[in-house]
Amino acid sequence: MKVLIIEDEIKAAKELERILLALDYNIQIVGIIDSVKNAIIYLSKHIHPDLIFSDIQLADGMCFDIYNKITPKCPIIFCTAFDEYMVNAFETSAVSYILKPITKSKIGTALEKYEQMKSVFAPAQTSKDIDALSHKLKYLYKTALLVNQREKIIPIPVKDIAFFYLDNTMVKILTFNHQRYSISSSLDDLERNVDPQIFYRANRKFLINRDAVLSIERYFSRKLAIKLKEETPETIVVSKAKASDFLNWLESV
């Protein structure tokens, strides 16, 4: 059986490979891919494997971005760090799952389910499962964030936030109605917990709302300078490497 692993954490990918080969010597790992971009390239140029093990959140986007562009011709076992709600959602679909951290027992159970169900797998059904999971996944993102203000805890609707800004070691929030707050979460944690269709990590310091973008200007060395509807403490610069990705994100629905 030919297996493709899509996982951006190399340690997790190697551990998954080790367990798979220990469970079944007939398994052949045809590749380990670490990004949405490389997975799309691979699946568009190679014969699809018998089975894909796929992480959900990759360094450059969600795995569903892969399968929306390339219809998989094989079943997928998703690897996820999401909570019990997502586990229940996976169990009701034709696509199995492994809840991280991965173990030999979890992988063995998922492979048994695959063997039992592979005769009924079809690309059309797999595509429906992916769409359903993608729809469910949207509801896992934060819709509000809690901030402390003196003796009060205030819920801030995420949709009202124009941008997050890293000021030294503290993350600041600016809303569309010009309210300013500080939050104890890191910018990396916030990026993982807000909808990537709405928020984009422009650089190390800024996580910006799509609706806050007023204009984009060409900057030095093919970089981009983003102007928001709200005043920012400094110019938001997108690197040359991320410029195309940012523009694609901005025009996507």
- Mean pLDDT on 78-106: 65
Q: Which tokens belong to 100?
A: 């991280």
Q: Which amino acid is it at 99? A: L
pLDDT of residue 84: 45
Q: Which tokens belong to 117?
A: 């169900």
CATH topology of domain 2-138: Rossmann fold (3.40.50)
- Distance separating alpha carbons of residues 203 and 237, to the nearest angstrom: 7
Q: What 3-state class would DSSP assign to 156?
A: strand
Report the phi/psi class of residue 213: left, alpha or beta, with left for phi > 0 and alpha for psi in -120 to 50.
beta
Residues 6+ apart with CB under 8 A from 195: 138, 141, 158
- Distance separating alpha carbons of residues 100 and 112, to the nearest angstrom: 18
pLDDT of residue 239 exceeding 80, the answer is yes
Q: Which of 75-79, 139-143, 163-167, 213-217 has the lowest mean pLDDT?
A: 139-143
CA distances from 192 to 13, 59, 92, 167, 197 (A): 20, 11, 25, 19, 12
Contact (Cβ atoms closer than 8 angstroms) between residue 220 and residue 230: no
The domain ranges of the chain are: 2-138, 144-251
DSSP 26: T
Q: Which amino acid is it at 245? A: D
pLDDT of residue 82: 61
CATH topology of domain 144-251: OB fold (Dihydrolipoamide Acetyltransferase, E2P) (2.40.50)
pLDDT of residue 81: 74
Domains 2-138 and 144-251 share a fold: no
